[in-house]
């Protein structure tokens, strides 16, 4: 078991957002999380990554058996947790290449591994950006500054591919992507598929799941996982919408 979320309750400014969420992600699994707007999907991703101002009032989150709620965001990242943001942040004044190198080497250092030499790093950047159809010129620009919506999402996948996380959480990485970019991003995720790695794909669209075929689909509603099933659950949602699951919660 790579990730175990048990009875997680989270508040923001005294407002309950997650209400007893249970979720298990196995090693090697690709899981999709779907659910209506405001059901708490991004909140879950942020709490896993360690974004401040989310108050965990109950429950626990075990990553590889360790309680990560006590860890700083960078410790979590060094342990192999990665979040691709729904709304990627701009970092003016920091070149994308520099950012990648700093993040990668900081994580390697924290794990007691040697830092990448410049030639090794550059080779990895070249290979990874080529696979993802990312122009080298973009990597010289400040992180996400002036990037189009789709370029930001690709840049998130570039970070993921460079960092090779054990658990990647992709929050609506498909939104705003044209069909070619969608395939490239899906390919980037599929390329990292391995028995040692897991991915959580948060999406509203069944379409993405044709390219990234999930092992399991979880449906969130009102701050909880209310239904889990196979990939056919995504098709069922596409056909019927979320009303049935929201009723189940109310019942
Ligand atoms: N900082 C905040 N202050 C107050 N309420 C918040 C805050 N952040 C999130 N919420 C509320 O928490 C709920 C869950 O938000 P969240 O962003 O997790 O939903 P989501 O499932 O990711 O939705 P979407 O599909 O639209 O991205 C929403 O009702 C939202 O308004
Ligand atoms: Mg969201």
Q: What is the pTM of this model?
A: 0.93
Residue nearest atom 9 of ligand 1, based on CA coordinates: 43
Asked whether the beta carbons of 141 and 133 are under 8 A apart, the reply is no
What is the per-residue pLDDT across 131-141, written as a single tens digit (0 to 9) for each? 888 998 999 99
Show the tokens assigned to 182: 């969608």
The parent domain of residue 57 ranges over 3-250
C-alpha to C-alpha distance for 169 and 163, rounded to whole angstroms: 13
Residue ranges of the chain with pLDDT lower than 70?
246-251
Residue nearest atom 3 of ligand 1, based on CA coordinates: 12
Residue nearest atom 28 of ligand 1, based on CA coordinates: 38
Which atom of ligand 1 lies nearest, measured to the CA of 53? 1
- How deeply is 236 buried, as exposed, middle or buried, from its count of CB atoms within 10 A (0-12, 13-18, 19+)? middle
C-alpha to C-alpha distance for 5 and 116, rounded to whole angstroms: 34
pLDDT at 251: 45
pLDDT at 68: 96
pLDDT at 249: 52
C-alpha to C-alpha distance for 143 and 160, rounded to whole angstroms: 14
Q: Ligand 1: residues whose CB is within 6 Å?
A: 12-13, 15, 17, 35, 37-43, 86
CA 236 – ligand 1 centroid, Å: 24
Per the structure, how many domains does the chain have? 1
CATH of the domain at 148: 3.40.50.300
Residue whose C-alpha is closest to residue 154's, from 129, 136, 191, 179: 129
What is the per-residue pLDDT across 140-187, written as a single tens digit (0 to 9) for each? 999 999 998 888 988 999 999 999 999 999 999 888 888 888 888 898
CA 194, distance to chain mean position in Å, is 16
Ligand 1, residues 11, 41, 204: which to mutate, most atoms within 8 A of Cβ?
Answer: 41
C-alpha to C-alpha distance for 35 and 144, rounded to whole angstroms: 27
Residue nearest atom 6 of ligand 1, based on CA coordinates: 12
Ligand 1, residues 13, 39, 176: which to mutate, most atoms within 8 A of Cβ?
Answer: 39
Which atom of ligand 1 lies nearest, measured to the CA of 40? 18
Q: Which pairs from 180-183 meet CB under 8 Å and 24+ separation?
A: 180/133, 181/133, 181/150, 181/153, 181/154, 182/207, 182/208, 182/211, 183/211
């Amino acid at each position: 078991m790579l990730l175990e979320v048990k009875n997680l309750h989270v508040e923001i400014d005294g407002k309950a957002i997650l209400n007893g969420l249970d979720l298990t992600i196995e090693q090697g699994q690709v899981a999709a999380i779907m659910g209506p707007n405001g059901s708490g999907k991004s909140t879950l991703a942020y709490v896993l990554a360690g974004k401040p101002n989310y108050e965990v009032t109950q429950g626990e989150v075990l990553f590889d058996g360790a309680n990560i709620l006590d860890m700083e965001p960078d410790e979590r990242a060094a342990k192999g947790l990665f979040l691709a943001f729904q709304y990627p942040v701009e970092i003016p004044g920091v070149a994308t290449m520099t950012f990648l190198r700093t993040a990668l080497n900081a994580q390697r250092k924290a794990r007691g591994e040697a830092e990448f030499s410049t030639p090794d790093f550059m080779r990895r950047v070249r290979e990874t950006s080529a696979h993802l159809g990312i122009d080298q010129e973009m990597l010289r620009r400040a992180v996400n500054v002036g990037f189009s919506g789709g370029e930001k999402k690709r840049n998130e996948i570039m970070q993921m591919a460079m960092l090779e996380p054990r658990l990647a959480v992709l929050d609506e990485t498909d939104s705003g992507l044209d069909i070619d970019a969608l395939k490239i991003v899906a390919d980037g995720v599929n390329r990292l598929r391995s028995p040692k790695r897991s991915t959580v794909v948060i999406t509203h669209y069944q379409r993405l799941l044709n390219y990234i075929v999930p092992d399991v689909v979880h449906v969130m509603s009102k701050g909880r996982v209310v239904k889990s099933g196979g990939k056919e659950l995504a098709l069922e949602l596409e056909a019927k919408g979320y009303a049935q699951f929201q009723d189940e919660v109310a019942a």
